Chain A
Amino acid sequence: MSGHDEILESFIAEATEAIAGLDNDFLSIEAAGASGDAELINKVFRNIHSIKGSAGFCGLNVLSKLAHEMENVLNLIRNNELTPTSGVIEVLLQGLDVLTAMIGDVTSSETVDISENVNALQAVARGETTSPEVAETLDRDIDVELPDGTLAYLMIPEYDLVSRQRAGHNIYSLGIDVVNDVEQRGQSLIGLHELMIANGEVLNSYVRTVGIGTLDDPLPDRLDLMVLFASTLDPAGLADALLLSEDQVIRIATSTQTVWGDGAPTEPESVDTPATTSVDSTPAAESAPSDAAPSKAATPQSAAKTTTPPPAAAASLRVNVQILDQLMTLAGELVLSRNQLVQCIEMNDPKTLDSVASRIDRVTADLQDAIMRTRMQPVGAVFSKFPRVVRDLGKKLDKECDLVVEGREVELDKSIIEAIADPLTHLIRNSIDHGVEQPADRRAKGKPEKGRVDLRAYHEAGKVVISIGDDGAGIDGDRLRRKAISSGMMTETEANNLDERDAVRLILHPGLSTAEQVTDVSGRGVGMDVVRTNIEDLGGSIDIDTVIDQGTTMTIRLPLTLAIIPSLIVRHGEKQFAVPQSNTAELIRIRPSEVATRLRSVKGADMLRLRGSLLPLVRLSSILDEPGQFVSQHDGVRQPNRRLTVADRRDSTDTPAADRRQADDRRDDTNAGNINIIVLENSGLRFGLIVDELHDTQEIVVKPLGSHLKGCRHLAGATILGNGDMALILDIAGIAAVANVTMDANDPVDEDSDSDQNSIRESQSVMLFSACPSETFAIPLSLVSRLERVRRDDINVLGDAAFMEYGDETIPLIRLDDYVTATPTPSDIDTLNLVVFTVNQKVFGLVAPTIEDIRDLPANIDTETMREDGILGSMVLDGRMVRFVDMVHLARCRQPQYFEQSDSSATGTNQSTPATLVLAEDSSFFRKQVESFLAASGYNVRSFEDGALALEYLNEHGHDVDLLVTDIEMPNMDGLELARACRSTPKLAEMPIIALTSLAEESDIRRGYESGIDDYQIKMNRDALLAGIDRLLNPVGAAA
């Protein structure tokens, strides 16, 4: 590298540093206005000054010239001779942009045309008041056109024209024949020029050279000089002053005056096309050279666009000296440790080996940490460009917006900082373009006109979180649903089944954008999915929180560094693989006994039933099962077997033989028959990966794979584990692509479940358990206090009855087969599950051999088919009969003495006549349930299928009814309407109303109370309901 290159390189580094953040400083100066921060202005001045100096030294004259002009303006501001108005700052910012571009590409900086910027800066320095529009006119060159449509002059910056006009000058086109008007009259061109300068300003001029021959030719009879001239004189006066005839002076009116002129003549018809000016036809234009057709110069380049990729300056990194010192110290320690190790091996002394090993371990860890820290950079480096983005975009879109930045000091790995800049810019632009509304709309919504965008970075749970929040319009989930439907991405049912969060997340899918109209700022729907992909490529995730009319917050979670990632180590066959933990959602182990209920095959694809939805399963063996000599013989034989087994399991596991065969297939007896599933998430896809064995988690260092292995989409790299073994790192997105996991497969809709309107509206959380695979029972989750796993030995049996010590009391245990038709608990099971529940303040335990699942089931329960005491009803679920257990009945049978008192209190309500209750409930199952236990408690019950029928009855017999029990969700008239109707009817106004609900949310309850409901009870909680009824019928005061 030559000496000059080195100087250039150091200039680039220095100038890049000096220029960094200047745009924000300019913005601060602008914000401070006349009362400017002297220190800040000084700092900016010094930076520009030093760029000017070094650029001059490097021979970068153009760069130096621009910096010089900027410095002049800054000097005026510094001396309070110029107020940093928006217009002034605009000109400075434009200068800065060009300066930045030139520094980024110094080699071609000498060819950059900076005349516009220089003119603008000089104009500002001359104190010519400018406005933001000035800046635009600086960028724009216009042709001066004569009345016959020919171009009279080379293009000149529009600013030159407009600023003269603004100062009250008239613009003239002078057609001078040098031969006849000057030479023949005994004048000289110099004399003419002096005359001109005395009377105005020459803006541009050119000589028509077409007619001139060579020196040998006779002198031409005319030589036209065209002058574009600005003067305060009127045409006649000017012609006199310049000794020209009046027809040689043509006045030009430019339409651009209307853009920002305030007193100048206007030509409104051409407001929008200021690129040409037309010659006013006042004076005759006869002598104007009509054939003047100067070549229309190519539009002068905007300097910022001429950049080619900048030289290698970006590849260097500034490191804190402290960290460097620490690295030196650690390197020294490492050398010492090495010496110790060598000595120790030579001496063959195993005792000191331990201490040496631990020392090396510590030094290496510290070294790694320190080196990682050299790569850490504050996110402020990226954040600092956003104030400018917000300002410029706000101006462009006529929206005012504040950017509030927090957490600039939060550090991230250099590579992540670089990669995050574009996605963040996109999100910020989105916030302003789509989020923040127009000031008028904001006013209408009662929000401050000025929008607000919050940009925050902070640490959370070992990750860096960057959130971009706006107080704008929010994202409309329904609009996205409609878009998804209209674009054919999903069917109407699918879209409607998405919950609000998932609907909003649709914005992250390709082809969907909320912008109804595409703008050049954002939109087009190509943005957000790219943002998501970029972030996920970094091992991060993106979440959206949005409230209509309140705003949207995008939350990005990023790993601190890319080089070291925490991973789950799994084994498959003889090989180990690493699964990045950022993709891992949860781990699931399916025991052989659960296979029948949890795994199923849908259209040939394996699925896992997970909390009510189906999760597509991918077998790692099938992903790795590539023809090749590297699959071990052992695997090669085993894999086809396993595949059959997994696919067939659902049907075959009813026979114990299948389980045994499956167990035999396994090499590892400790895990016999268990299926290990890693639930993985990537790019909105969720799927389960079946692996042989799960090991520990390790922090792994990612090593890239060679170019020959680039085709292996399922692999993200390799790593060297703690024991020196190598493990391949799985690429989750690649696996999803290879296995063809799609969104549809992840559809949460369970196709087996009955989906009539009723069941969708109302569901009940139940726990499923079984004693043997063919018999499944369900109990309402709301009744379950907790689940216990107990050993069979811990159960005490007294006669026929079983008890167990639970806490400091002995609780009675209920065995299902003692009370209902059920298979007894297999005697070979050592540990049992105990469902602990409370009835009438007494604790019971229900023996449940295997807990299968917790599901939301529709309430359309068949109360007839499986009718028996202790069973409430049944339903068919996934092809199996599920019976609903009547917990209260079982508890009663088990410990009748517990209920004697409560029964008497409920029945004998201390009233001579039994109270009459009206029950409104649409689900026949619940209606029959509630009706039966209310009747059993001694009440007269009239029940109705919906609110309208109940109201009809109440209106007729209202005076006989003591209390109303109503469901909330009902067809025709819902519970809230019914309550309101009762409250507005005088004779029903005082009647107590209890609402039944399967899931009560705080907001629902509040709405209920507002409608006049007195109490809320959870469905199926018989005792609480009875107690509630009792409380309302016999208020404490009245009973006393």
Chain B
Amino acid sequence: MTTTLESTRTYSIVHIDDITLGIPIDRVREINQNMNIVPVPGAPRIVRGIINLRGAVLTVIDVRAALRLPVRDDLTECCNIIVSCDDETVALLVDSVGNFVDASPTDVNSAPGNVNAVAGEYLTGILNRDDHLVGIIDIDALLLLDEHTDATNANA
């Protein structure tokens, strides 16, 4: 990551229902449509299952589940965004993938309490683009949803 604060960053736009989210492009390794997801019994709620990515077994995080949206049964249109996180690679399951957008840090506003039903705690900021808001996903916060916080939240 060589981007400095002043330089513009590119975000990959993904959609979940009518929510538009941005993922920093430097975290994205690839996008695929491998929907051959094997469910893992006993896994945390946000884990949809595992996929085989050219011999490596990756955990698939259902972004819908992470954002507390109803999960989809039919995955035919969905996409996996393969992102790197610490020393691990995980797949983020989203509805569809859009374009890339460039934005300078000044375009990114701090995230309000929630944006389009997405809790602000999973967003690093908000980008105003073409009359709609793009929530920049905080991947690390999203992936940190471990079982403990998951359980507390689920009870709430």
Cα A709 to Cα B71 in complex, Å, equals 19
Q: Fill in one digit per residue for B44-86: 1 if any A CB lies within 8 Å of its CB, else 0.
A: 1111111110011111010000000001000000000000001
- Residues in chain B near residue A708, CB distance under 8 A: 43-44, 46-47, 59, 61, 90, 143, 146
Q: Say yes or no for A728: interface residue by CB 8 A criterion.
A: yes
Q: Say yes or no for A706: interface residue by CB 8 A criterion.
A: yes
Cα A724 to Cα B55 in complex, Å, equals 10
- Residues in chain A near residue B50, CB distance under 8 A: 705-706, 709, 718, 726, 728
Q: Say yes or no for A626: interface residue by CB 8 A criterion.
A: yes
> Interface centre among B39, B59, B88, B90, by most A CB within 10 Å?
B39
Contact between B40 and A720, CB atoms less than 8 A apart: no
Contact between B40 and A630, CB atoms less than 8 A apart: yes
Contact between A706 and B49, CB atoms less than 8 A apart: no
Contact between A575 and B38, CB atoms less than 8 A apart: yes
- Residues in chain A near residue B42, CB distance under 8 A: 623-624, 626, 628, 711-712, 714-715
- Residues in chain A near residue B48, CB distance under 8 A: 630
**Interchain CB contact (< 8 A) of B49 among A630, A703, A714, A720:** A630
Contact between B38 and A724, CB atoms less than 8 A apart: no
Q: Say yes or no for A707: interface residue by CB 8 A criterion.
A: yes
Contact between B41 and A720, CB atoms less than 8 A apart: no
> Interface centre among A626, A630, A708, by most B CB within 10 Å?
A708
Q: Say yes or no for B121: interface residue by CB 8 A criterion.
A: no
- Residues in chain A near residue B58, CB distance under 8 A: 706
**Interchain CB contact (< 8 A) of B39 among A575, A623, A707, A717:** A575
Cα A630 to Cα B40 in complex, Å, equals 7
Q: Say yes or no for A214: interface residue by CB 8 A criterion.
A: no
Q: Fill in one digit per residue for B22-52: 1 if any A CB lies within 8 Å of its CB, else 0.
A: 0000000000000010111111111111111
Q: Fill in one digit per residue for A672-691: 1 if any B CB lies within 8 Å of its CB, else 0.
A: 00000000000000000000
Cα A625 to Cα B61 in complex, Å, equals 20
Q: Say yes or no for B147: interface residue by CB 8 A criterion.
A: yes
Cα A623 to Cα B88 in complex, Å, equals 27
- Residues in chain A near residue B39, CB distance under 8 A: 575, 628, 630-631
Cα A709 to Cα B41 in complex, Å, equals 10
Q: Fill in one digit per residue for A688-725: 1 if any B CB lies within 8 Å of its CB, else 0.
A: 00000000000000011111110110110110100011
The answer to whether A715 and B40 touch (CB under 8 A), given A707-B88, A726-B52, is: yes
**Interchain CB contact (< 8 A) of B52 among A714, A715, A720:** A720
**Interchain CB contact (< 8 A) of B45 among A628, A714, A728:** A628
- Residues in chain B near residue A714, CB distance under 8 A: 41-42
Contact between A703 and B47, CB atoms less than 8 A apart: no
Contact between A626 and B57, CB atoms less than 8 A apart: no
Residue of A nearest to B39 (CB): A630
Cα A711 to Cα B44 in complex, Å, equals 8
Contact between B52 and A728, CB atoms less than 8 A apart: no
Interface size class on chain A is: 20 to 34
Cα A705 to Cα B48 in complex, Å, equals 13
Q: How many residues of B contact A (CB 8 A)?
A: 29
Contact between A718 and B41, CB atoms less than 8 A apart: no
Q: Say yes or no for A740: interface residue by CB 8 A criterion.
A: no
Contact between B147 and A624, CB atoms less than 8 A apart: no
Q: Say yes or no for A320: interface residue by CB 8 A criterion.
A: no
Cα A1031 to Cα B15 in complex, Å, equals 96
> What is the CB-to-nearest-CB distance from B63 to chain A, in angstroms, rounded to a whole number?
13
> What is the CB-to-nearest-CB distance from A360 to chain B, in angstroms, rounded to a whole number?
15
Contact between B40 and A709, CB atoms less than 8 A apart: yes
Q: Say yes or no for A517: interface residue by CB 8 A criterion.
A: no
Contact between B52 and A628, CB atoms less than 8 A apart: no
**Interchain CB contact (< 8 A) of A704 among B41, B57, B71, B147:** B57
For window 991-1014 of chain A, which residues contact chain B by CB distance below 8 Å?
Answer: none
- Residues in chain A near residue B143, CB distance under 8 A: 708
Q: Say yes or no for A629: interface residue by CB 8 A criterion.
A: yes
> What is the CB-to-nearest-CB distance from B88 to chain A, in angstroms, rounded to a whole number?
6
The answer to whether A709 and B52 touch (CB under 8 A), given A718-B57, A726-B38, is: no
- Residues in chain B near residue A707, CB distance under 8 A: 59, 86, 88
Cα A703 to Cα B47 in complex, Å, equals 17
> Interface centre among B44, B61, B86, B147, by most A CB within 10 Å?
B44
Residue of A nearest to B73 (CB): A629
- Residues in chain B near residue A725, CB distance under 8 A: 38
Cα A833 to Cα B146 in complex, Å, equals 57
> What is the CB-to-nearest-CB distance from B58 to chain A, in angstroms, rounded to a whole number?
7
Contact between A711 and B41, CB atoms less than 8 A apart: no
> What is the CB-to-nearest-CB distance from B34 to chain A, in angstroms, rounded to a whole number?
11
Contact between A705 and B57, CB atoms less than 8 A apart: yes
- Residues in chain B near residue A704, CB distance under 8 A: 57
The answer to whether A703 and B57 touch (CB under 8 A), given A708-B90, A720-B52, A724-B52, is: yes
**Interchain CB contact (< 8 A) of B90 among A629, A706, A717:** A706
- Residues in chain B near residue A623, CB distance under 8 A: 41-42
**Interchain CB contact (< 8 A) of A709 among B45, B47, B56, B86:** B47
> Interface centre among A624, A630, A714, by most B CB within 10 Å?
A630
Contact between B41 and A705, CB atoms less than 8 A apart: no
7 contacts between A and B (CB under 8 A): A623-B42, A631-B41, A706-B90, A708-B43, A708-B46, A709-B47, A728-B41
**Top-3 shortest CB links A-B:** A630-B39, A706-B59, A624-B41
**Beyond A709-B44, A728-B40, 5 additional pairs, beta carbon < 8 A:** A707-B88, A708-B46, A708-B146, A714-B42, A728-B38
Residues of B whose CB lies within 8 Å of any CB of A are 36, 38-52, 55-59, 61, 71, 86, 88, 90, 143, 146-147
